[in-house]
């Protein structure tokens, strides 16, 4: 009966209560949304690479190496010579090695030179292999395989021509050596979706007439001639390495890091990712802190709403008291009302969150490559919701204690 009366009391003030519930709902949706994006981003990053034991590049920072080699974020400060690459490839610990050459682009997408082995060795989301939605792997020198987002965004199909631009923000195109789309990789939710993949030799081929980052004036080697040339690269940006036994990873890593011929860096992807989380952890905490403050603000708004309604509810409190309700009953009635508002806000917030996720997911995926999972609230999120309701009950103690005191002081004959 008390619960029914509390609900009735809230419904009688539908507008103010509705606004309060909406404020709580939006704050809950924001708080859980930040958490979803945070965990979604972490999961997407963690899912991007699996099965690779070491990433090797020129000596820089481990996070930088991870970012440019796997996530196509930032650039390599230096290259790895082909000789060094071959020295690593011939180490007895190495099971497989895939070179990566970055630096050029097509429209807003990065171009990556590699070997066809990349399509067999690159694994994501717990060991899944790349598959082709259309076409096939690299065959001809001027074949290219594009990611799903490249195909979707630019409307490319197998057989379409592609001209690669020199560098990342350049107006100079390698238009004399156009590529042909040979295959489209099925959607992975990784940076591969936003990558134009060509062969390592093709990267050499399009730079035949280039020196020090600029085209040699007046020199245009015919494609037929280029096809006959030795296109072994002189340098690569990085390499993905798989070892025969996990026990050998650290031995190989130490050998590469101490490689005397040139300064190299070998990192374990998981360790580099952890370093990355440590860096972004502060920003994450700040974001969580801000969204938590929004929840606190909404709860303070609720407290203010209850406080301001006490004046006009003194007569109601007097009726309760006259019927035999103890001041503690009045206190618990107000706490119950607050908990009900918070519970309604929490449920509405979760509904808003899922509606928002459903609407934003395709855009977030396409724009940031972050896959936001739409799953039932987990135990942690349920604890958050319970925490919001408990915090609301706690916040309502301020007006509830005031009502308690008023009901003691007013007696039962309130004159308003």
Task: Tell me 187's DSSP state.
Answer: P
CB of 413 to other proteins, least distance (A): 4
Q: How far is the CB of 317 from other proteins (least distance, A)?
A: 10
**Selected range binding other proteins among 54-62, 108-116, 326-334, 356-364, rule: CB under 8 A:** 326-334
Q: How many CB atoms lie within 10 A of CB 182?
A: 22
> What is the pattern of x (binds other proteins, CB under 8 A) and - over residues 303-322?
------------xx-xxxxx
Q: How far apart are CA 49 and CA 193, in angstroms?
A: 13
332 interacts with other proteins by CB under 8 A? no
CB 107 within 8 A of CB 94: no
Judge contact between 337 and 373, C-beta under 8 A.
no
DSSP letters spanning 252-298: HHHHHHT-SSS-EEEE-HHHHHHHHHHHHHHHHHHHHHHHHHHHHHH
Answer for the pair 186, 128: CB distance below 8 angstroms, yes or no.
no
Residue carrying structure tokens 């507008």: 15
Q: Does 333 bind other proteins (CB under 8 A)?
A: no
Question: How many C-beta atoms surround the C-beta of residue 84 within 10 A?
Answer: 21
19 versus 73: smaller Cβ distance to other proteins: 19
Total residues interacting with other proteins, rule: CB under 8 A: 26
- Least distance to other proteins, CB of residue 307, Å: 20
Question: Least Å distance between CB 323 and other proteins?
Answer: 4
Q: Looking at 3-11, 151-159, 240-248, 379-387, which segment touches other proteins (CB under 8 A)?
A: 3-11
Chain mean position to CA 413? 61
Residues 6+ positions from 380 with CB-CB distance below 8 Å = none
The residues in 7-26 that bind other proteins, with binding defined as CB under 8 A, are: 8-9, 11-12
Residue closer to other proteins (CB basis): 246 or 415: 415
Question: Among 326, 378, 380, 382, which residue interacts with other proteins (rule: CB under 8 A)?
Answer: 326
1 near other proteins (CB under 8 A): yes
Stretches 4-12, 57-65, 113-121, 211-219: which one binds other proteins (CB under 8 A)?
Answer: 4-12
Is residue 125 within 8 Å of 133, Cβ to Cβ? Answer: no
Q: Does residue 405 bind other proteins (CB under 8 A)?
A: no
Residue found by looking up tokens 């650290």 in the block: 250
Sites for other proteins among residues 349-378 (CB under 8 A): none
**Residues interacting with other proteins, by CB under 8 A?**
1-2, 4-5, 8-9, 11-12, 315-316, 318-327, 329, 409, 411-413, 415
């Amino acid at each position: 009966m008390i619960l029914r009366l509390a609900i009735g009391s809230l419904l009688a003030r539908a507008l103010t209560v509705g606004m309060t519930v909406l404020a709580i709902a939006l704050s809950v949706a924001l708080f859980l949304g930040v958490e979803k994006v945070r965990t979604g981003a972490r999961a997407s990053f963690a899912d991007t690479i699996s099965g690779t034991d070491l990433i090797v590049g020129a000596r820089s920072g481990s996070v930088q190496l991870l970012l440019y080699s796997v996530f196509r974020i930032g650039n390599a400060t230096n290259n790895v010579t082909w000789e060094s690459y071959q020295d690593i490839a011939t180490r007895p610990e190495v099971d497989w090695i895939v070179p990566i050459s970055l630096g050029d682009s097509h429209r807003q997408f990065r171009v990556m030179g590699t070997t066809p082995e990349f399509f067999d060795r690159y694994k994501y989301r717990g060991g899944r292999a790349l598959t082709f939605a259309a076409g096939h792997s690299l065959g001809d020198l001027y074949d290219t395989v594009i990611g799903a987002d490249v195909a979707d965004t630019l409307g490319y199909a197998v057989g379409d021509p592609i001209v690669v631009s020199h560098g990342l923000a350049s107006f100079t195109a390698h238009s004399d050596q156009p590529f042909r789309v040979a295959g489209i990789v099925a959607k992975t939710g990784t940076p591969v979706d936003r990558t134009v993949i060509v062969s390592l030799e093709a990267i050499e081929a399009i730079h035949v007439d280039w020196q020090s980052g600029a085209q040699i004036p007046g020199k245009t080697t015919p494609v037929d001639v280029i096809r006959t040339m030795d296109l072994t690269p002189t340098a690569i940006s990085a390499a993905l390495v798989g070892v025969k036994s996990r026990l050998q990873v650290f031995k190989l890593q130490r050998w590469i890091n101490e490689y005397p011929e040139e300064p190299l860096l070998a990192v374990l992807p998981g360790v580099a990712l952890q370093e990355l989380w440590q860096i972004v952890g502060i920003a994450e905490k700040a974001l969580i802190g801000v969204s938590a403050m929004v929840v606190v603000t909404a709860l303070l708004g609720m407290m203010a709403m209850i406080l301001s309604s006490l004046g006009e509810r003194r007569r109601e409190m007097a009726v309760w008291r006259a019927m035999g309700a103890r001041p503690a009953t009045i206190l618990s009635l107000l706490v119950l009302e607050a908990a009900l508002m918070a519970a309604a806000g929490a449920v509405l917030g979760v509904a808003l969150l899922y509606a928002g996720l459903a609407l934003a997911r395709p855009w977030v995926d396409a724009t940031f490559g972050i896959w936001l999972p739409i799953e039932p609230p987990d135990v942690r999120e349920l604890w958050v919701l319970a925490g919001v309701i408990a915090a609301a009950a706690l916040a309502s103690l301020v007006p509830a204690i005031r009502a308690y005191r008023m009901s003691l002081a007013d007696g039962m004959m309130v004159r308003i």
